[in-house]
Amino acid sequence: MGRTYDAVPDHLGQWMVDQPVYFVATAPLAADGHVNVSPKGDDTFRVVSPREVAYLDLTGSGAETIAHLRENGRLTVMFCSFGPSPTIVRLYGRGRIVLPGEDRWDELIARFPARTGARSVITLAVDRVSTSCGYSVPLMDLVGPRDVLTEWADGKGPEALEAYRAQKNAASIDGLPALG
CB 173 within 8 A of CB 71: no
pTM, full prediction: 0.95
DSSP string, 9-36: -HHHHHHHHH-SEEEEEE--SSTTSPPE
Q: What is the pLDDT of residues 117-172, one digit of tens each?
A: 999 999 999 999 999 999 999 999 999 999 999 999 999 999 999 999 999 999 99
**CATH number for 41:** 2.30.110.10
- The answer to whether position 174 is within a domain reads no
- The answer to whether position 44 is within a domain reads yes
- The answer to whether position 11 is within a domain reads yes
DSSP string, 75-112: EEEEEE--SSS-EEEEEEEEEEEE-TTSTTHHHHHTTS
Is the CA virtual torsion 96, 109, 36, 19 positive or negative? Answer: negative
Please give the tally of structural domains in the chain: 1
- The answer to whether position 177 is within a domain reads no
Residue 90: which domain range?
4-135+145-168
- The answer to whether position 175 is within a domain reads no
